[in-house]
Structure formats: C-alpha cells, structure tokens
Structure 1
Amino acid sequence: MNQSDVDRIWYDGEPAPFWMRALVPVYRTLGAFIRLSWTSGLRKPVRMRVPVVVIGNITAGGTGKTPLVLAMIDALRERGWKPGVVSRGYGGSADNPILLDDFPDPAVVGDEPALIRRRTHVPVAIGRNRPEAARQLLEQDVDVILADDGLQNPSLARDIEICVIDGRRRFGNGSLLPAGPLRESIDRLRQVDLVVCNGGQAEPGEIHMALQGDQAQRLDTADAPRNLAMFSGSTVHAIAAIGNPRRFFDSLGAHGIDVIEHAFGDHHALTRADLEFGDELPILMTEKDAVKCKGFANPRLWVVPVAAVLPVAFFDAIDRKLRDC
C-alpha cells in the first residue's frame, strides 16, 4: 500500500481495511504504556538549564513544523535570544548525538536538520537521545532550545509546547494510526500552550500561519532568486519527498505552472537517478529536498523556498513566556 492509497483512507473517506482497524487498539495500548512510564514517575524528563520550546504535531505527515522552526529562529533572534535546535534527525544514519557543522550531510543527520543549519547557521544537534543531543547545544552558548518535533517524546522537559496542524487536511478521518493519521488523540491539543493552523481556516483559539513562496533559486549557482512567475504557462517536473507533497504541487499550480508530479516518501534519499525523466524540462523542488541534491546540482534544478508568516503577536507571546521561565 503506497502513500496515495493511505491518503485516500485517511483523508478522502475510503474505508480502512480490517487489518488497519485491528491495529488501532495495539497502537493505543502501546502509546498508553509508554506514557504511563513517564506519568508514574518511573522515568523523568531531563530539564535543561535554558528554556525548551517543543514544536510538533499530532498527525503523521507534514504539517509545516520546519518552516515554523525557521520563523521562530528569526523572531527570537530579533528579540535578543540565541536559539539552538535539537532534532531526532529522521532520515539520517547517525545513531549517536551529533552537533552539526557548517556543511552537514543530510544522509547522516537528516534533511530537516541540515536545512535548518544551512539556512540559519544556528547551533543544531541531532540524536535519538534528545537530552544528550540538547546538552551539546548548551556548550554553544544558546539561551533557548527549539525542539523540532517531540510532542510524543517526553524525555526532554519543556517550557512551551506548540502544535502545528494542517489547516486543510486537519485530522482526516479522526482515527489513530494506522487507520487514520493521528499519533495521539485530538484531546492532546488541550494540553499544549499554542496551536498553529497552517493554511485553511483557523478555528477559535488557533493561530493562523501561511506559507509564502514566490521565488525560485537555481540550485547550481548563487545567483539572485527569480520570480516563480517565470515558469507560468510552462511545464515542469516537481519533486516532493515531504509529508504532504500535494501542498507543494498545488502551490506551483497556483502560479499557472503545468506540473508533472513526482511524489516520494517523506525523507526519501533522493538520487541523481530519481531526477532523470528523459527530457530537458526544468525540475522544481522543495528546500528540504534541495539539501539532498546539492552534490549533483545542474542548471535544470530549481529550489522553491517558503517562509512561514504569522502574527507578530504570536512571537511576542512566545518572548513573554520565555522571559517568565
């Protein structure tokens, strides 16, 4: 069963097969057992000496966490903070905690941490053991840690929790994995400090976030970006190895671009062969995918960065919460 089949079940109303429904109680019981080990006090979260902000979601697939992390980094810097980022490093091969250098290898550290480091140059650490990875950030003189994903990982004590939801797909059929997209019950939203709605219509109490991306940068040069409108009316290949490829494809179509879609699994390790289509059409990709293609960049490859836009009041509220920690 591929992701398209799964999406039809999760989001388009197609009935889940019996084996998916049968595994939901198993998933629920396993999650409850893990949570009990923490709530009972058998295991205790590790607290850092600086505030920790967790940015995560309660659904499988992409909701826009990484763009929000990037926006948070910029906003915190503007307010005098020195942020660092800790991540699991999904898609990377590293087992032990690593502090990323200036030229991180996505195959080792994961595509999202590599993107965050290359774009912002803030300290970024990855590792299966989040507290051990976070300790490496403390040696870099950071005064606030952003945990990229981690709502379901209580090992690192946190001062603020932010949940990002997809404003268009929201919670799909409302079922837990694997019959639905939910990692946790929707009730989890009552426990977080802030809920950010990416796209769509924000509901009462949610903060609306929009992703803006109207420029394209050729991957093999450092030339100035060009307006995405240059591709309007033309046909391109579009690559997306992200949690929700449809969002990227639709954003290109909104600019009048005829898109030949190529969706891969989230964090797929793109290779040169993945980009060979037997023609000379331009190839557009997300920034998260572009970090994996630097080694074989050519004039046909273009990256389309996006920026998360949120109310200034949202960042001001985060700043106030952090200063009260």
Structure 2
Amino acid sequence: MKHLLQNAWLTRGGLACLLWPLAQLYGLLVRLRRVLYRRGILRSERFKVPVVVVGNVVAGGAGKTPLVIALVRHLQAQHIAVGVVSRGYGRSGLDCVEVTPTAPLAQTGDEPALIHKLTGVPVFVADKRTEALQALLAARPDTAVVLCDDGLQHYALQRDIEIAAFDDRGAGNGWLLPAGPLREPWPARKHHGLDLVLHTGQKAAFEGFTSSRKLADDALSPTGDRVALDGLRGRPVTALAGIANPQAFFGMLEDRGLMLEATITLPDHHVFSETDLAGLRGRTVLCTEKDAVKLFALPGAAGLDLLAVPLVFSPEPAFFAAFDALLAPLLSPLPSKHGHQIA
C-alpha cells in the first residue's frame, strides 16, 4: 500500500482519484482545526522568548534537521543563546526528556540526539512541544531563541517565525493526504503565517530560497578518526541509509567517485540492533550521521569497519539575511509585535 500511495502522489490519476474524497475530508479537518485555534477554542500557548518553527508542508523528511543545525550554528556565531525542542519522532515513551550524551536513544529519538551531538545546545523532547519548551526554559533561563524541530502544524505552540523546508518533490501532485503528500493546502499555506521557504534539494520547484548540500571530505569512525573519502576510491564499499531519501545519500557517494558494491535501504528512523550488524562484517560500510548515532552505540559496532559521512548543508546567504531581519525586532529591547498568532 505504501508503494501505491507513493506512486499516487506523482499523478492526478489512478489511485489518487480514488482517494480524492478522503483528501477533501482531510482538508476540511485541517481548516476546522486552524479556526478552532484562531478563535481560542483550542488552547495555544505563547512563551517569553522568540520561537522559530522549522517544519514541513509535505509528509516525510525534507531536510528539516540539517536546517535546524544550520540555524543553530548561525545563531551561535552571533553569540545568541539558543535551545531546541522536538517531539523526538520514533522514540519510546511520551515523557519530557533532556537530550544528553548518556540519555538512551530510545527515549530521545535519533534526530534530537544528532542535533545535540553536532551543536552542543540544550535539546529537550516531549510528546507536547510546549512541555519541552517549558522544561528547556526552566533548565536554561538564559535561552534567547528557541528552535522547534518540526511542528509546523503543532498550533498549540505559538510561534514568531515559521520556516518550511521542501526537497525535490516540491508539493508533489498538489493534493492533500492521502491522495497527495501535502499536510496542508499549498500554496494557500503561505498566507497563513509562513515566513520563509527553503528548498533543500538540487532544484527549487517554486519560489523560495535555495541551499547546497554535499558530503564532507572526510568520513568519521566510531572512535572519531577521520578517513578521506577520496582514499576510498577504487575500493568496494557498502552504503547504508535509514533516512527519508536513501537514494540521495547513495547518489552523493557515487558522485564522489566511490564504487558501491551494495546499498542497504532501511526505513526512516530505523531502530538498529545487533542483528543488523551481522551482515556487515568484512565490509567497509558508509552511513549517514543520523544512522551513526544509533549504529555506533551498539556494542558490536566496535569490531566493524563503519564510517559515518557528514553532510555539509548550506542555505544561501540571502536566507540567513532574511531570517536575521525577522529575528532582530524580536530580540530588540524596543517594543515589537513579537510574532504572529495562528492565522
């Protein structure tokens, strides 16, 4: 069924037409929910610090987490105290948890753990992002800006800046779930509080800022040793990816001149176990940093030739300039509107 739905998203015929009534119903529910929040029937909470939500209008991964990491580093470069909140997709339990190097991945989720590892900023996860933000501010009262990884449709948390990430799929066939990939109507969503659009893929499907992505020159071993990617050319390697778009990772490795003797595609947020390692012995295995967060933590990984290949993700300078222009009034001691309500 998943394969059929993915194909349906690529065309306005076939199965997509059969699912059209469900998409219409979904659209009505989306609009009703927005109205309930706008009129205060459903509670929406505002916090004392600027909140920036980075999310998707389409279902599935579209580069949100690399964008959050890029924004964190951009704020760190300006010496702005920043924290991150997330639901922690795929984790076990609903409790509010602070992400630390020793916190079990099953309780934090892979993407929050990766954000914390690469940036060092405080990261809190909770089923309700408002609870994560409350815990973050209680633990780090000096926090000046909070980034929410995902949550564009989580209207219980009021936000000051909304950023939507799109990959090469763009808006797909333009239909709402389940007939298409859209969580909300597009381009209508642009007129309901959305501030910035960033394309994270190779080509922009419509107007918005662009970004570049490439693999780092060096891969990293579980012990932190660096291995030059160019030094792996001419040597058979296995590529493994449990992300939203594994083929993008495999393609970038091939573009660097690497010979992939095998590729292993796993579901996004795959929970690795020792069983997954059994077939990797005797191979040089390249994986993403997101996969490495989980793979390197397994005891059996120590005896394998596992290498994580970092992604170098760079939004265009104009994107950061536009972001800074939106954020500056919120950080100023002068009076400001301090963001927008649910439109």
Same-fold status (TM-score > 0.5): yes
Task: Tell me if structure 1 keeps the 8 A contact 2:99–2:116.
Answer: yes
Task: Tell me if structure 2 keeps the 8 A contact 1:68–1:308.
Answer: yes
- The correspondence of residues 112-127 of structure 1 with structure 2, limited to 5 A, is 112-127=111-126
1:75-98 superposed Cα distances (whole Å, 9 cap, x missing partner): 101112111000011011131211
Moved more, 52-61 or 265-274: 265-274
Task: Tell me if structure 2 keeps the 8 A contact 1:71–1:307.
Answer: no
Moved more, 73-82 or 293-302: 293-302
Alpha-carbon distance in 2 for matches of 1:300, 1:27: 47
Report how far residue 222 of structure 1 moved. 1.7
Relative distance call for 1:129 and 1:15 in structure 2 (3 A) is same
SS, match of residue 210 in structure 2: strand
- The correspondence of residues 247-286 of structure 1 with structure 2, limited to 5 A, is 247-259=248-260, 260-277=262-279, 280-286=282-288
2:232 is equivalent to residue 227 of structure 1: no
Alpha-carbon distance in 1 for matches of 2:269, 2:165: 19
What one-letter code is carried by the residue in structure 2 that aligns with 1:185? P
Q: Residue 175 of structure 2 corresponds to which residue in structure 1? A: 175
How many residues align structurally? 322
Report how far residue 45 of structure 1 moved. 1.9
What one-letter code is carried by the residue in structure 2 that aligns with 1:102? P
Task: Tell me if structure 2 keeps the 8 A contact 1:10–1:181.
Answer: yes
What one-letter code is carried by the residue in structure 1 that aligns with 2:318? A
Report how far residue 205 of structure 1 moved. 4.2
Moved more, 204-213 or 85-94: 204-213
What one-letter code is carried by the residue in structure 2 that aligns with 1:247? A
Relative distance call for 1:177 and 1:276 in structure 2 (3 A) is farther
Mind listing any 5+ residue stretches in structure 1 that lack a counterpart? none
SS, match of residue 251 in structure 2: helix
Aligned-pair identity (%): 38
Q: Residue 238 of structure 1 corresponds to which residue in structure 2? A: 239
Moved more, 66-75 or 102-111: 102-111
Report how far residue 216 of structure 1 moved. 4.2
What one-letter code is carried by the residue in structure 1 that aligns with 2:86? S
What one-letter code is carried by the residue in structure 2 that aligns with 1:219? S
Report how far residue 261 of structure 1 moved. 2.2
Moved more, 67-76 or 11-20: 11-20
1:24-57 superposed Cα distances (whole Å, 9 cap, x missing partner): 2342233233223212220232111110001011
Task: Tell me if structure 1 keeps the 8 A contact 2:219–2:229.
Answer: no
Task: Tell me if structure 1 keeps the 8 A contact 2:212–2:316.
Answer: no
What one-letter code is carried by the residue in structure 2 that aligns with 1:178? P
Alpha-carbon distance in 2 for matches of 1:31, 1:17: 19
What one-letter code is carried by the residue in structure 1 that aligns with 2:176? L
Alpha-carbon distance in 1 for matches of 2:8, 2:112: 30
SS, match of residue 297 in structure 2: helix
Alpha-carbon distance in 2 for matches of 1:134, 1:278: 40
Moved more, 83-92 or 33-42: 33-42
SS, match of residue 291 in structure 1: helix
Alpha-carbon distance in 1 for matches of 2:4, 2:264: 16
SS, match of residue 150 in structure 1: coil
Relative distance call for 1:144 and 1:275 in structure 2 (3 A) is same
What one-letter code is carried by the residue in structure 2 that aligns with 1:287? E
Alpha-carbon distance in 2 for matches of 1:86, 1:227: 34
Alpha-carbon distance in 2 for matches of 1:146, 1:152: 15
Alpha-carbon distance in 2 for matches of 1:21, 1:231: 49
Alpha-carbon distance in 2 for matches of 1:32, 1:116: 32
Report how far residue 214 of structure 1 moved. 2.9
- The correspondence of residues 65-80 of structure 1 with structure 2, limited to 5 A, is 65-80=64-79
Alpha-carbon distance in 1 for matches of 2:239, 2:325: 41
What one-letter code is carried by the residue in structure 2 that aligns with 1:264? L
- The correspondence of residues 90-239 of structure 1 with structure 2, limited to 5 A, is 90-139=89-138, 140=140, 141-166=142-167, 168-186=168-186, 187-191=188-192, 192-202=194-204, 205-223=207-225, 225-239=226-240
SS, match of residue 206 in structure 1: coil
Q: Residue 289 of structure 2 corresponds to which residue in structure 1? A: 287
Question: What is the TM-score normalised by the length of structure 1?
Answer: 0.91
What one-letter code is carried by the residue in structure 2 that aligns with 1:256? G
SS, match of residue 294 in structure 2: coil
Q: Residue 317 of structure 1 corresponds to which residue in structure 2? A: 322
Moved more, 31-40 or 240-249: 31-40
1:123-154 superposed Cα distances (whole Å, 9 cap, x missing partner): 10111111111011213121100000111111
Relative distance call for 1:81 and 1:200 in structure 2 (3 A) is same
Question: What is the TM-score normalised by the length of structure 2?
Answer: 0.86
Relative distance call for 1:59 and 1:101 in structure 2 (3 A) is same
What one-letter code is carried by the residue in structure 1 that aligns with 2:315? L
Task: Tell me if structure 2 keeps the 8 A contact 1:163–1:189.
Answer: no
